[in-house]
Amino acid sequence: MSDTKRDQDPAPPTERTSTVIVEEAGAISVATAGAVPAGQVRRGSSLTDLLANYGVFLFLVLLSVGFSIAQPDQFPTTENLRVLLGDNAVPGLLALAVVIPLAAGEFDLSVGATLGFTSILTAQLTIHGTPVGLAILLAVLVGAVVGAVNAVLVVGIGVNAFIATLATATVLSGLNLLVTGGRTLFEGIPDSLKEIANSKILGIDLTVYYFLIGALILWYLLEHTPFGRLLRATGMGREAARLTGVRTSSFLAGSFVIAGAIAGLCGALQLARVGSATASMGPEFLLPAYAAAFLGSTTIRRGQFNIWGAVVGTFLLAVGITGLTFAGAPFWVPNVFNGGALIIAVSVAVLVGRRAGDTT
C-alpha cells in the first residue's frame, strides 16, 4: 500500500463518530425531554445566553441569599451548611448515577431500589462480621450486577427501559422485605462503618468529599474520554451512531452497569450516614435524583445532561427544601417541591428544544 493511499484511508469508525457526531453536531440532547444538542442551543456570548446557561446556578445563589435574609438565625449558619452538605451528598451522588444512562438516552428507575437493597446488604454483612471495606466493595459489585441485569433486559432482550428497570426495582423491594422481615436493622452495625461517612475534614463530613470526588471522576469520564464522547453519541442518535461504527449496545449496557455500581456505593454510604437500614429505604431517593439531573440539563451545558449541572440541581433542591422547612412548611412540602422541580425542569428542556428548533 502506497503512502498516498494510506493518507487517504478513513479514520477508524469510532474516531469518525466521535468527531462527526459529537464535536460537529454537539453532544447528547435531552432527548427524552425534547431538547436538542447543545451545539445548536448555546450560541453567542450575550448576557441573555449567559443567563440562559447559568440561570439555575444564579437562582440557587438568589434563593440562598433570600433565605439567609429571611431566616438570619437559622439558614446562614455554619451548622446548617454542614448539615445541608452532609445530608445531600448521597442523594447528589445518586443524581450523578442517573446522569450516565440519561446521557446514553435511557432511564434507569431501579437506582433508588438498588440503594435500598445494598444498604440492607451492607448492614447484614457488617452485622455478621464482614470487614467494612469488603462489605462496601460487595455492595458496589452487587449494584453493578443489578445494572448488568438491566442491561441484559434492555439491550440484550429489547425490553423497554422504563418497564425493565421498574420491574427490577420492584423485585429488589420485595427482596428487602424478605431479608429484613420488615424490621429496621441497626443493632450490631460497627462504628467503623459509621465513621467512614460521618468523620469530618475541616468540619465537613467525608460523604461530601466522596460526592465531589465522584463528580470529578464522572465529569472527566463523560467530557474527556472516548467512552464519554461515544456514550453521548449513542444517546444523541443511536441508529446514526451504530451505522457509523459505534458499538452502541456496549455503551448503553455500560451505562446501566456504572449507574448500578454507583447506586450500590450510595447504599453503603447511606447506611454509614444514618446507622440503620429499613426495607422501605431507597425509592424516596429516585425522584430527587431525576429532578436534579433534569435541572442540571438546563444549566452550565444547557441542553445536555451534565455532571456539574446535576450538582447544582442537587443543592438547589436541598436549599429550597431546607429554607421552606425553616419557614415552617408542613411535612408534605418536600415531595411537592421535588415533583414540581422535576416538572419545571422537563418543561424548560422541552421549551429549549422548541426554541432551538425554531432558530435552526
Question: pLDDT tens, 191-243?
Answer: 999 999 999 999 999 999 999 999 999 999 999 999 989 998 888 888 788 88
pLDDT tens sequence across 292-326? 999 888 888 777 899 999 999 999 999 999 998 88
Pick 322 or 6 by higher pLDDT: 322
197 vs 208: CA distance, rounded Å: 9
Cα three-residue angle 94-322-118, rounded to 5 degrees: 25
The rounded radius of gyration (Å) of the Cα atoms in the chain is 21
DSSP 133-183: HHHHHHHHHHHHHHHHHHHIIIIII---HHHHHHHHHHHHHHHHHHHHTTP
Burial class (CB in 10 A: 0-12, 13-18, 19+), 13: middle
The mean of the pLDDT values for the chain is 84
Q: How many residues does the chain have?
A: 360
Q: Kindly report which listed range (20-34, 55-69, 84-98, 141-155) carries the lowest average pLDDT score.
A: 20-34
pLDDT tens sequence across 150-204? 999 999 999 999 999 999 999 999 999 998 888 888 888 999 999 999 999 999 9
pLDDT band for 124, please (50, 70, 90 cuts).
very high
Q: Is the pLDDT of residue 130 over 70?
A: yes
Q: Kindly report which listed range (46-60, 130-144, 270-284) carries the lowest average pLDDT score.
A: 46-60
Q: Can you tell me the mean pLDDT for 131-145? A: 96
Amino acid at position 214, single letter: G
pLDDT band for 48, please (50, 70, 90 cuts).
low
Q: Is the pLDDT of residue 118 over 90?
A: yes
pTM of the model: 0.84
